[in-house]
Structure formats: structure tokens, C-alpha cells
Amino acid sequence: MSDARRVLIGVGGGIAAYKVCEVVSTLFKAGVQVRGILTQAAQEFITPLTLTTLSRHPAYTDEVFWKPSHQRPVHIELGEWAELLVIAPLTANTLGKLAHGLADNLLTNTVLASRCPVLLAPAMNTEMWEASSVQRNWQQLVQDARYHSVGLGTGLLACDRVGVGRMAEPVEILAGVSSLLHSKGKRDLLGKKVLISTGSTREHLDPVRFIGNPSTGKMGLALAQAAKYRGAKVTLVHGPATWEAPLGIQTIPVVSAAEMQQEMLSSFSDADLTIMAAAVADVKPAEYASEKLPKQSLPSALTLEAVPDILVELGNRKQPHQRLIGFAAQTGDILTPAWEKLKRKQLDAIAANPIDQPGSGFGSDTNQAIFLDAQGRQQQIAPCSKLEMAHYLLDFVIGN
């Protein structure tokens, strides 16, 4: 068997089925082996040929399931093959069957015949989703540790209603796939509260001009996603961002270092694990003009004041059961300053980032780092996606 990861995608009968094509195509391009099952109803929306073409493997339907064959039953074969099962879109019908352990087609039989984690991406009209029977089935199903979920989004639905019911976007489903392949569905942060800061802070001189940096917050967003899939309750304090965090992550937007400091301090005492991934501006203009300054009134030199070091303050308040992690974005020698910051800021661990290396700077989708901890452990992480880096950091901190 090849080393490639093995993802089985079960497509239900909903209009969101078309979005699954992008998930399959992206996974295939990333080197993942993908197999697809279409329910009878799914084939009203996309065809087996679509899935076959995108996954480079014949798609499975109920026709294959019921066809007399002397081979091993297809649901057993597929159930054993899959490392991860994704059901997208999950319809009210399939949800009801799974909640009650029913199996009358290839998809539901394969779910029962497998042991791997299952990622559910429900999609339906708002009334259908909110129907008490559907909600009952959903609550019952997600109590089972095997089932993970992504979505539901709110927006314009195919029924022309605006409301809850949209399937998660492909990018969110892909983040779920990547997370569950890494963690194998383990919820090693279940019951833990994880507090993360990310992005840049802006120190304004007047309402339009500020001192800032190019950090986009993608690393902290990835950490939040990774921690959520591992069972944590996540709070993400972030500077100005162009992304939206997926559902299930509490977000607190801030602008300045002072606002970030206030939010981090107010959530810190509850947190089991705190990660400062934010690129906090180190200084702010000493004066703030509440009206936009005309060009002629701009000072020729700025008087700057230091902003508080949030991580140092958190380190001073840290209780023995709490873990505190920092980042050190460095150029040149990354290790010496990272060891120094780990000690001075009383951290349990630090991720030292060489921001001058290709594919690991601000705004990039990939990263590389050396993790250090207070016990003197050191782990080098080769360039990888920020989501993978997030999981490696959590593994390092939890001790996996």
C-alpha cells in the first residue's frame, strides 16, 4: 500500500454536492488518495463520472453495492481502506439514519463497517435544520466521539432564504480533513480552554495612519482550527484580519496592543493553554490626534512610547497548571534570541520562526520553525502548511 493518505468522501443528495468536487480535486492534487461514494439522491446533483474523473478512481454507487459479486463486499473493503470518511453534504435523511444506526445503502453501510473518524458537513434549508427531529438526531450523533463536524454556515441558501444551512466552504472542509488526518480524530484537548492571539496590532497616530506590521494572523487562525479539532474550547484574539474564523471558535477583534492586552488579560485566568502568535507592535506614537492630520501638520519625527509586553505580563500571572507559549519571529540567528525570550518571558515553550526564509514570512500559507521548551527540548519543523505547523506545535506542547 502506498504512503498516501486515504480519504473516502460520501456525497449526499443536496445542491452543495457541487462544492465537494473542489474538495476532491484539491485533495487529489495534494497527493491524497480519494475514493467517492454517491448516494442515489447525490446522483441527481453530480454524476459518478464527475467524481471518477476528479479522484482518478471509479466512483462507488448503490448499483455497485447490490451487484452480485464473488469479491469481498464493497462496504467492508471501503470501510477498511479509509483513514478518514467525509460526508458532504450531510442531508437530513443520512443524518437520521446514522443517528439510529440504520444502513440501507452503500454509504450508511460503509460508515457502520468502518472505525475511522468521520467528518460531517451538513447542508439543508433552515427549517429542515431547525426541525426538532433533525436537531435531536444531530445532538445524538455528535455525542459519539467518532463524529466531527464542520459548518453550518449562514447565508443565501438555494431556497432563496437567508439563514443557517449552508454547507461549510471547501477550504474549511479541507482544513478539517488535514486536521483529522494529523490527529487521527484524537481529542487530546477535550475540556481544555485554549486562548490564542494572532495578527498584527496597529498603533494609530491619527484615525488613518498607524505603525503596524504585515502579519496576517494565518498562523494563529491555524492554531485555533487545530485546537478546535482536538476538542478544545478556543478563544482567538486577533488584530485586523481579512479572514473569518470557522464556526465554533470564539473571536475577539482588536486593533491596538492596549486592546489586545486587555482582552488577553481578561481571558487568561480561565485558559489552560495560551499561545501568543500575534506580532504586537513594540512601540506607539506618544501623541494621538483624534482628527486626521493634514499633510502639512504631520511631524517630521515621531516620538514613540513602548507598548506593554503582553507575554511578559501573562508570564508573571501564570499559575502552575497553565501553559504559556510564545513565538519569536527572527532573522539571522533564530535560536539565541528565542532561548532568551523563553526564559525572560517565563514561557513553557516557544516557536522560533526564521521569517527571512522563503515560504515562512508574514502572510505566507506555509511556515517553518524550531520549537524550544523550558526543559531544554528542541524540535526542528521543516517547511509545511501553517495548519500542519499548528498541529506539530500542539503535539510538542502536549507531549505527543
Residues 335-354 that bind ligand CTP (CB under 6 A): 337, 341
CA quadruple 253, 256, 262, 264: dihedral sign: positive
Looking up cell 460531517 gives 120
| Binding of residue 259 to ligand CTP (CB under 6 A) | no
Q: What stretches of 16-123 adopt beta strand conformation (E)?
A: 33-38, 84-90, 118-122
* CA distances in angstroms from 247 to 16, 172, 229, listed in the order given: 18, 10, 12
When asked if residue 310 is in the footprint of ligand CTP (CB under 6 A), the reply is yes
Q: Does 329 bind ligand CTP (CB under 6 A)?
A: yes
Instruction: Work out how close the CB of 331 gets to ligand CTP at its nearest, in angstroms, rounded to a whole number.
Output: 10
C-beta closer to ligand CTP: residue 17 or 237: 237
Beta strand extents in the chain (DSSP E only) = 6-11, 33-38, 84-90, 118-122, 147-149, 153-156, 162-166, 193-198, 203-204, 210-211, 233-238, 249-253, 273-276, 283-285, 304-306, 323-330, 349-354, 366-373, 378-385
Q: Report the candidate in 76, 55, 49, 77 with the shortest Cα–Cα distance to residue 4.
A: 55
Closest approach of ligand CTP to the CB of residue 214, in Å:
13
Choose, by CB under 6 A, the member of 82, 174, 276, 387 that binds ligand CTP: 276
Catalytic residue among 21, 116, 159, 384: 159
Indicate whether 307 belongs to the interface with ligand CTP (CB under 6 A): yes
Q: Minimum CB separation from ligand CTP for residue 193, in Å?
A: 19
159 assigned to active site: yes
Asked if 280 touches ligand CTP (CB under 6 A), the answer is yes
Regarding 221 and contact with ligand CTP (CB under 6 A), the answer is no
# residues contacting ligand CTP (CB under 6 A): 15
Q: Which parts of 228-257 interact with ligand CTP (CB under 6 A)?
A: 257
* Three cell numbers, residue 332: 539571522
- In the chain, the amino acid numbered 235 is T
Least gap, CB of 326 to ligand CTP (angstroms)? 3
Nearest-approach distance from CB 282 to ligand CTP, in angstroms? 5
Q: Which of 279, 250, 295, 284 is nearest to 351 (CA)?
A: 279
Q: From CA 393, how far away is CA 326, in angstroms rounded?
A: 11
- Confirm or reject binding of residue 311 to ligand CTP (CB under 6 A): yes
Contact positions toward ligand CTP, by CB under 6 A?
Answer: 257, 276, 278, 280, 282, 307, 309-311, 326-329, 337, 341
Residues carrying an active site annotation? 159
